[in-house]
Amino acid sequence: MNQPGKQLLSRRSLLWSAPLAMAGAAATLGPRAAASAAAAATADKSVAAGCVAPELLGQGAFQYHANRFWGLLDRKRYPVADCHGICEDRDGRIVMLTNDTHNNLIAYTHAGQFRAAWEKRFPAAHGLDIVEHGDEERYWITDHDRQLVSICTPDGRELRVIGADAVKQKYADIGRYHPTNSATLPDGQCYVSDGYGSSYVHHFDPDGRYISSFGGEGDAPEQLRTPHAVWIDTRSGKPLLLVCDRSHDMLKWFSLAGEFLRMVAVPGLQPSNVAAFSGRYSDHLAVCGLNGMVLIMDGSDRVISCVGGEPPEYRDGKLQPLSVYNYTFIHPHDVYVDKAGALYVVQWASNQTYPIKLELLQSLVG
């Protein structure tokens, strides 16, 4: 996987620090909102028990306690390498994708209890999407080294593959094709981002036949550099394609025909994937980035909470460069939002960590 363009300091856990050590670290890391500072500095009962209360991350209505140990398993039985994708199936299981071929897929309950582990075919497993198909589900798994998207049944039976042959007409050197993610329309059309290759987004018909491409490497608004993920954005009522343009620190929207529409800068994030909220916050997005943060954006594309970072700041309507707070995360790679507004985060190049769950101080349900 490509290295992120900006290096983070070594992650330092403050979970088990004494109160004075916590206060000193907080002073070093800079000011926080009053509620966050109070939560980090007090936690009297927890300190008396020998540990500090869970970290409080984010701002406003979207403040979270981080549960670093939510998905922890026996590494000998269920090892992970990089954890690249996470979503929920129709049975309410939280399903995580790792590139460890002992078990590419691991399923949990919402409480973090292990349910199942399966799949061994994807050494560079990178993108996961679970798609409704009639009365069944389909798992769309992207492997950037095998240069394919595999469409499987939940039990692992492969139904078809969209491989390098499908796009070879677009490449002088097909070795430059390394897909990272896919997005699917209800009629079966799909989009595949060549995030680690030539920075195209490819459009396919319901049978996996090539239609067209857009993007390509460059710095013009309609061009991309590391289109890491693609996502069908239906919040406006008209489906659009949202692209995480990681190396440009941009979110970019295109029509389904590939026409560039608009972009939003997220400086310092390196956006890697997005997920939607539901219910009364269904116009909100969670956007995770390799630089150690998850942003909450409202329906006007404004960042209202920076989970794992300092509070977002706007000057003259422009979002200022984002900065990490406390290094709860190392390299967030994907995020899922459940109905209660909790976040589930998986990470790349992060000491083979299992998913982290972030629980809202107050549920958004209702």
Task: Spell out the domains of the chain, with CATH numbers in brackets.
Answer: 19-48 (no CATH), 56-360 (2.120.10.30)
Sheet harboring 210-215: ordered strands across? Answer: 181-184, 190-193, 200-204, 210-215
Q: Show the low-confidence residues of the chain (pLDDT under 70).
A: 1-54, 363-366
- pLDDT at residue number 146: 98
Please report the pLDDT score of residue 287 as a whole number. Answer: 98
Amino acid at 220: A
CA distance 42 to 303: 28
Beta bridge partners of 251: 244, 264
C-alpha to C-alpha distance for 26 and 332, rounded to whole angstroms: 23
The identity of residue 52, as a single letter, is V
Number of Cβ within a 10 Å radius of residue 255: 13
Cα-Cα-Cα-Cα torsion 72, 75, 77, 82, nearest 10 degrees, comes to: 90
CB-CB neighbours of 57 under 10 Å: 25
Task: Tell me the C-alpha distance between 155 and 165, whole Å.
Answer: 26
Q: For residue 219, which of 199, 242, 244, 191 has the smallest C-alpha distance? A: 199
Rg (alpha carbons) of the chain, rounded to whole number: 20
Give the pLDDT confidence score for residue 326 in this predicted structure.
84
pTM reported for the whole predicted model: 0.86
Cα separation, 62 vs 11, whole angstroms: 23
First to last CA, the chain: 41
E-assigned strand segments in 93-199: 94-98, 105-108, 114-118, 125-133, 136-143, 148-152, 158-162, 181-184, 190-193
How many other CB atoms are there within 10 angstroms of residue 93's CB atom?
A: 18
pLDDT tens digits, 85-137: 999 999 999 999 999 999 999 999 999 999 999 999 999 999 999 999 888 99
Residue the block writes with tokens 């239609």: 211
Measured CA to CA, the distance from residue 183 to residue 31 in angstroms comes to: 40
Q: Are 274 and 244 in contact (CB under 8 A)?
A: yes
Task: Provide the greatest CA pair distance for the chain.
Answer: 66
pLDDT of residue 362: 79
Task: Read off the tokens for 149.
Answer: 């998207």
Looking at residue 290, its amino acid is L
CA 4 to chain centre: 15
